[in-house]
């Protein structure tokens, strides 16, 4: 999905913004170029060091790769790798990478500015010098599964403004392509189609299930259903559940419903080996926003869970050891008249947590109902905007 252009960016296209494509070999049956390589979750920023360490770089970090507070220890939305366009070798190396941003003000005489200047028509350069700006999204510019941005303006101050105003859109674009690449890596080699078929037959929905997930609970009543899938490895654990309520109304959906239902389900099913149970950690950042998860009305929640046990005073809880991040989608599905709650969480004490919670997000995004599955490509990552 391309990042929407501002009106000023659209005007630059009228002026004839030209981007030179090199090494593209596309046949009538598809794109045969190799896929982009590099560490998933990393963005390479090509920018002069004087700007990277100044306001331009700070605007980039704050708006494109901010700290994510809904993790046990904050992590940036993307790891950052800064390089300068010093020579041809650097230019050749960045063409192979997954996520790349080349940014410079045209008032500079740096290699980065010269690179962008050469890719603008005379009219486009004049428009930028007169105060317009450009943030150009170039998916698959040099390789497949690649996201490249060119960002420029007349001055460093104007470029800072571009990043402040459109940095979130850039981040959303990187998140979108990251989830798509992860989805391919997670499911292309091994899926449990028999488990997915069973979910569809028993519950009229399914999610993609990796080869090493196991079904812990699969139960239904006249009014609700609950499926708990687990992936337990030596050092990490991932939990995913789908709860639904029959004959529901969208008016029931509130953040309070999400929290109460979530805590009720985890108290019943997510229990410790000795004592305690899982509950949302309300002491930490809890982010819930009205959204359209999976193209349905509902809420998207991110936060932290922890083990607790009841305290002596009724309604209070004592925290125990153990915890991690979770995400939840709560939404109303009109054709089935159901409310769904999808939960994905991770326990990985010795690892950064963002990549694990993104795996859970990919899994949630493969949700589909029987009506949607008929003739549809279930391998596609659904929209969560």
Our measurement of the distance from residue 161's CA atom to the centroid of its chain's CA atoms, rounded to an integer in Å, reads 24
Q: Classify residue 342 as exposed, middle or buried by CB count within 10 Å of its CB (0-12, 13-18, 19+).
A: buried
pLDDT range class, residue 379, cuts 50, 70, 90: low
Secondary element (H or E) of residue 309: strand 298-310
Higher model confidence: residue 98 or residue 8?
98
Task: Read off the pLDDT of residues 32-56 as tens digits, 9 standing for 90 and up.
Answer: 899 999 999 999 999 999 999 999 9
3-state secondary structure 84-151: CCCCHHHHHHHCCECEEEEEEECCCCCHHHHHHHHCCCHHHHHHHHCCCCEEEEEECCCCECCEEEEE
Residue 380 pLDDT grade (very low, low, confident, very high; cuts 50, 70, 90): low
Asked whether the predicted pLDDT for residue 131 surpasses 90, the reply is no
The percent of residues above 70 in pLDDT, for the chain, comes to 90
Instruction: Please list the residue range(s) of the chain that carry CATH number 3.40.1000.
Output: 190-373
**Domain spanning 190-373: which CATH class is it, in words?**
alpha beta
Q: Are 380 and 367 in contact (CB under 8 A)?
A: no
Task: Tell me the pLDDT tens digit for each residue of 175-229.
Answer: 999 999 999 999 998 899 999 999 999 999 999 999 999 999 999 999 999 999 9
Beta 42-46 vs 317-333: how paired, if at all?
A: unpaired
Residue 351 has which token pair? 């690892």
Helices of type H across 7-81: 7-15, 49-52, 55-63
248 by DSSP, 3-state: which? coil
pLDDT of 215-263, one tens digit each? 999 999 999 999 999 999 999 999 999 999 999 999 999 999 999 999 9
Note whether 75 and 67 are within 8 A (CB).
yes
Q: What is the model's pLDDT at position 381?
A: 52
pLDDT of residue 373: 81
- The continuous run of DSSP H or E covering 40 comes out as none
Top-confidence residue, 29 or 86: 86
Average pLDDT, the chain: 90
- On the question of pLDDT at 274 being above 90, the answer is no
Q: How many CB atoms lie under 10 A from the CB of residue 283? A: 9
CATH for the stretch 7-186: 3.40.50
The model's confidence at residue 22, banded by pLDDT at 50, 70 and 90, is: very low
Residues forming CATH 3.40.50 domain(s) in the chain? 7-186
């Amino acid at each position: 999905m391309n990042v929407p252009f501002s009106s000023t960016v659209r005007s630059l296209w009228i002026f004839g913004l030209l981007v030179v494509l090199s090494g593209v070999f596309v046949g009538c049956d598809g794109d045969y170029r190799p896929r982009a390589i590099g560490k998933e979750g990393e963005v390479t920023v090509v920018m002069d060091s004087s700007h990277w360490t100044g306001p331009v770089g700070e605007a980039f970090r704050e708006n494109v790769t901010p700290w994510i507070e809904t993790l046990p220890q904050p992590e940036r939305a993307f790891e950052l790798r800064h390089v300068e366009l010093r020579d041809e070798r650097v230019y050749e190396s960045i063409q192979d990478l997954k996520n790349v941003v080349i940014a410079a003000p045209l008032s500079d005489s740096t290699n980065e500015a010269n690179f962008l200047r050469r890719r603008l028509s005379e009219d486009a350069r004049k428009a930028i010098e007169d105060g317009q700006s450009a943030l150009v999204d170039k998916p698959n510019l040099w390789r497949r599964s690649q996201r490249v941005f060119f960002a420029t303006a007349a001055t460093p101050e104007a470029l800072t403004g571009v990043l402040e105003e459109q940095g979130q859109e850039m981040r959303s674009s990187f998140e979108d392509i990251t989830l798509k690449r992860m989805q391919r890596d997670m499911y292309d080699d091994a899926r449990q189609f028999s488990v997915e078929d069973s979910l569809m037959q028993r519950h009229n929905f399914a999610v993609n299930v990796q080869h090493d997930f196991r079904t812990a609970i699969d139960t239904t009543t006249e009014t609700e259903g609950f499926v708990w899938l687990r992936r337990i490895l030596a050092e990490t654990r991932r939990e995913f559940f789908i709860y639904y309520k029959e004959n529901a109304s969208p008016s029931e959906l509130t953040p309070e419903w999400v929290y109460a239902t979530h805590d009720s389900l985890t108290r019943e099913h997510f229990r410790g080996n000795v004592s305690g149970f899982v509950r949302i950690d309300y002491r930490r950042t809890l982010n819930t926003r009205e959204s359209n998860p999976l193209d349905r009305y509902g809420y998207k929640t991110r936060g932290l869970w922890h083990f607790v046990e009841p305290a002596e005073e009724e309604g209070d809880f004592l925290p125990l050891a153990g915890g991690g991040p979770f995400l939840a989608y709560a939404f109303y599905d009109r054709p089935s008249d159901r409310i769904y709650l999808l939960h994905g969480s991770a326990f990985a004490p010795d690892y950064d947590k963002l990549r694990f919670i993104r795996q859970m997000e990919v899994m949630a995004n493969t949700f589909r109902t029987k009506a949607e599955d008929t003739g549809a490509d279930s391998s596609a990552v659904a929209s969560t905007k």
